[in-house]
Structure 1
Amino acid sequence: MSPKKAAAPDPARSLALLWGSHTKAGRSGLTVRSIVGTAIELADANGLEAVSMRMVAEQLKVGTMSLYTHVPGKGELTDLMFDSVHGEMYAAVDEPARQPGGWRGALEFVAERNWEVLMKHPWIHEVPTIRTALGPNVTLKYEAELRPLDGLGLTDVEMDSALTLVLTHVGGTARASAEQLRTQRESGLSDQEWWLEISPALTQVMAGMAERFPLAGRVGTAAGEHFQATLDPGHALKFGLDRILDGISLLIAERD
């Protein structure tokens, strides 16, 4: 049997919670903010699967039913968690646009802030984002990140697409970095230590493959020796971001 899927959040209830008060306390003294904060701590420590209404209630030392008077279920709680962590990104809506270096410096700043949040809260990768209810923090984030692109001659669709390209690159690289860190933690070996461990077997297998895969052998060896790892997230992030921003620069030049 396939594992039982968590109930999907009710969009209307999520939106009402996202845009409502998070500080009003109930009879138990609980607030939406305290519930969401505790859930985020659990997810940061053990992943999104570790978050349940029962576990959050245990951490808060209250009965599980007390939570349901504030949040209907895990689906809506996840929407609240997702919106909350994105409220950490910018001190003001115009912060990205105020960065030195024009639009390019602003998007580098945007990439850096998104990277920091994804690395601090890797469970974000587990949250479906295609139909996520839009909360105030996610909406402010979108507004803040679009402002540096406004007035450059790009169409609205091009502005959205350029931002999406940057954020997709950051998200993909952060996901790979999180997987690398998790693998190292679970195995107890760094990438370099792992390669040294399998090197004898790999050398034996690849001995007869040099003629068949000359580029794979040459380039893979060069990259591995340079980074001393299967992946250097910092390099991948900067290299890809620079190429993306070069492409956006060409598009802006065409519009000029």
Structure 2
Amino acid sequence: MVPEGADPDKASVARIYDAMLGGVHNFAIDREALAAFTAIDPQVRSLARANRAFLGRAVRFLVDAGVRQFLDLGSGIPTQGNVHEVAQAAAPDARVVYVDNDPVAVAHSASLLADTPGAGIVNGDIRQPKEVLASPRLRELIDFDQPVAVLMITILHFITEEEGPEDLVAAYRDALPAGSWLALTHATDDDRPDTAAAVGKLYRSKATAPVTARSRGRIQGLFDGFDLVAPGLVHVPLWRPGAPEEVPANPHEYWVYAGVGRRAD
């Protein structure tokens, strides 16, 4: 059944990513867009898996750093290794709020979390930080007097220049107490500009949001007010891999940067 508000005739950013990860909550139009993406970059599924693996490593790192509250912005459709599963496996008292405005993502998240203590979904547009941060469900689960980890995983490259990714990150940063964290991944046009340009054109024509790949310098600037932890801003497979065999032979062809930073006191 198609959730209310979902358009099966327009590819969705969340559903394309679900298809990349081998999920089943996507439509034919999303799989067609993924096929076109794969024609541009045959390793896109490996890139998506590397991005998802980073999320797990980052959450475990943050739990080890003492974080017990997570705000996952643009969380997408639930799949293996969701934030609450990773965090609560290590710290059962961890609390997680997911935020998305894709009807399929919201519907499946609500179903998954119906009987899950300490986790909830907010149907909201992350481009409206005041509304998101004022959500009753978010305020029920997240205490802004205690550190919060904000996760922006492959979402900021869907924020246009006109919308201003720096201003958006700053709006969430300024709501956080000292000791909070930011983890993000973002597509870059540094290494494979032709690929990034072709994917950007594809998303503009076929998907619900365009892709704007950015330089390493621009992406690092999104951490303004945060101190990056080692190894800094690196290609996504290179952020604290668990074992040498987890690093692909061509990590610099994975055209997404990843980083984690702690809010400066």
TM-score range, shorter chain: under 0.3
Q: Rg bigger for which structure?
A: 1
> By percentage of residues, which structure has more helix?
1
TM-score normalized with structure 1 length: 0.27
> By percentage of residues, which structure has more strand?
2
